[in-house]
A and B are shown apart, each in its own frame.
Chain A
Amino acid sequence: MADHAFASGDAVQALYRAHHGWLHNWLRARLGNSFDAADLAHDTFVRVLRHRHELEALREPRAYLATVARRLMLNHHRRRSLEAAYLEALAALPPAQVPPAEQRLILLETLNEIDDMLDGLPPRVRQAFLLAQLEGLSHAEIAARLGVSLRSVHRYVTRGLEQCIMVVS
Chain B
Amino acid sequence: MHHGGELRAGLAGLPPVDRRAARQAAGWLLRLNSPRATEADVRACDAWRASKAEHEHAWQRAQRVNARLGLIPAGLGMASLNRPAQASRRAALKTLAALAAAGPLAWAAWRADPFDWTADLRTGVGERRSVALGEGSTLELNTGSAVDIRFDGARRLLRLREGEIAVRAVADAGPSARPFIVRAPQGDIVAHEARFCVRLLRGACGVSVQEGALRLDPARGPSLALAAGMRASLSAGGASEPLAADPHAVDWLRGVLYADAAKLGAFLAELGRYRPGLLRCDPAVAGLRISGAFQLRDTDAVLAALPATLPVAVRYRTPYWVTVGPRAAGA
Whether B2 contacts A127 by the Cβ 8 Å rule is no
Whether A165 contacts B58 by the Cβ 8 Å rule is yes
Whether B19 contacts A162 by the Cβ 8 Å rule is yes
Residues in B with CB closer than 8 Å to A72 are 1-2
Whether B103 contacts A98 by the Cβ 8 Å rule is yes
**Known contacts A43-B2, A98-B106, A136-B111; A84/B65 CB under 8 A:** no
**Main DSSP-derived SS at the A contact region:** helix
Residues in A with CB closer than 8 Å to B154 are none
**B102-147, CB < 8 A from A:** 102-109, 111-112, 114, 124-126
Whether A102 contacts B80 by the Cβ 8 Å rule is no
| B16 closest partner in A (C-beta) | A166
**A48-99, CB < 8 A from B:** 72, 75-93, 95-99
B75 close to A (CB within 8 Å): yes
Whether A162 contacts B26 by the Cβ 8 Å rule is yes
Residues of chain B whose beta carbon lies under 8 Å from any beta carbon of chain A: 1-2, 4, 7-9, 11-12, 14, 17, 19, 22-23, 25-27, 29-30, 58, 61-62, 64-65, 68-69, 71-83, 85, 87-93, 95-96, 98-100, 102-109, 111-112, 114, 124-126, 276-277, 319-320
| A73 closest partner in B (C-beta) | B90
Whether A84 contacts B87 by the Cβ 8 Å rule is yes
Whether A95 contacts B104 by the Cβ 8 Å rule is yes
Contact with B along A5-19 (1 / 0, CB 8 A): 000000000000000
**Known contacts A31-B90, A165-B22; A102/B100 CB under 8 A:** no
Interface size range on A against B = 35 or more
Whether A169 contacts B14 by the Cβ 8 Å rule is yes
Residues in B with CB closer than 8 Å to A126 are 81-82
Whether A133 contacts B114 by the Cβ 8 Å rule is yes
